[in-house]
Structure 1
């Protein structure tokens, strides 16, 4: 029986990655403006504005800040994880996937990731390939 090769090491901790998954899921659940003429009182518009994606959204701001504050290696891993979960590579070619993420790295990592459809799903899928599940980290999310 052949032994599976060891999994690559991640620079970003699973706790941080799953925090981003949870926040991205919250952010991704928001809609575009449903009533651009609504008043400023959420109860007046049936609380619909709570789920609207607006400029200055606090969830996006927190997520953007959190990703921006990661060190460069953690940001590179995060992009590579998103690509892995999206199906752009496999765990077997992690080093190549990560090298490509490193070449593409710039100061727009947060903006790039937050514009990616299904970011939370892609990250969760990739983390599962590294043997991690959200259930492991539910109580310990930052």
Structure 2
């Protein structure tokens, strides 16, 4: 694995925080702030700082580190076995090189990313604990 375990563990924490965020519950309710007791004003607006931070961390990784994260997802979700790590890592590199895979977009689009990264680490005999 070409990424420090600490970086993966940090990303797992960020990914889990990102996963539990809720979007607006009723963006077109038709009510006004007074009628809904101002609940609408509690919804986050604008850019999510957690999402921004996670994207910056992923975009700041070098190619080998990003490929390692993607390969961990392949192993974590069962696409490939831990014994196939070299193939998973190579495949991640190939997909990134072809432009078919933007690491930040792809990784952040996975709903249970933190769990999959953790499963991938477990498959390789590693843990954040």
TM-based fold match above 0.5: yes
Alignment of 1:130 onto 2:114: no
Alignment of 1:115 onto 2:112: no
SS of 1:33's equivalent in the other structure is: coil
Unaligned runs of 5+ in 1: 1-9, 136-142
1:55/1:125 CA distance change after superposition, 3 Å: farther
**Number of the residue aligned with 1:74:** 65
Contact kept in structure 2, 1:34 and 1:48, CA below 8 Å: no
- For residues 15-34 of structure 1, the aligned pairs below 5 Å read 15-34=6-25
1:92/1:47 CA distance change after superposition, 3 Å: farther
Corresponding residue pairs, total = 120
Distance in 2 separating the partners of 1:122 and 1:131:
14
1:44 CA displacement? 3.9
Distance in 2 separating the partners of 1:55 and 1:16:
27
1:133 CA displacement? 1.9
Unaligned runs of 5+ in 2: none
SS of 2:14's equivalent in the other structure is: helix
1:83 CA displacement? 1.1
1:63 CA displacement? 0.3
Q: What's the Cα RMSD here?
A: 2.3
1:120/1:47 CA distance change after superposition, 3 Å: farther
Distance in 2 separating the partners of 1:55 and 1:76:
30
